[in-house]
Amino acid sequence: MKNRDRKISVIFAAIATLTAVLLAGPAWSAVTGDCVNCHTMHNSQDGSAIEFNNQLNEEPNARLLKTDCVGCHSNPAGSETILMLGDSRIPIVYNPGGGVVYPSDGSTS
């Protein structure tokens, strides 16, 4: 009887595991695009510190980013709310004179 109960437990565990794996959706990042557009390993490229917007930053940034958040998500030269960096769409949330602006329609202006 013990052997039978053990087999039932193993079968139940296998079915539960299989169900969890099959029903689990794929894990997707909220951000799309090439990682290298924003991130660098240990603030270096080929052993040299990263230069971003013509400024050399010797200090590492949080989350292995090339610059701080405002460095990528601001647009001092205009009012566009989406900028393209390669194939990546960069949302602009800080514009001069406008403070923090969250684009509601995803448009580029």
pLDDT digits (tens, 9 = 90+) for 65-108: 877 777 777 777 777 778 887 778 888 776 655 555 555 665 54
Q: Which of 9-13, 24-28, 38-42 has the highest mean pLDDT?
A: 9-13
As a whole number of angstroms, the distance between CA 81 and CA 94 comes to 9
As a whole number of angstroms, the distance between CA 76 and CA 16 comes to 54
Q: Which residue spans within the chain are E strands per DSSP? A: 44-45, 48-49, 51-52, 55-56, 82-85, 88-91, 94-95, 99-100
Confidence (pLDDT) at 27: 57
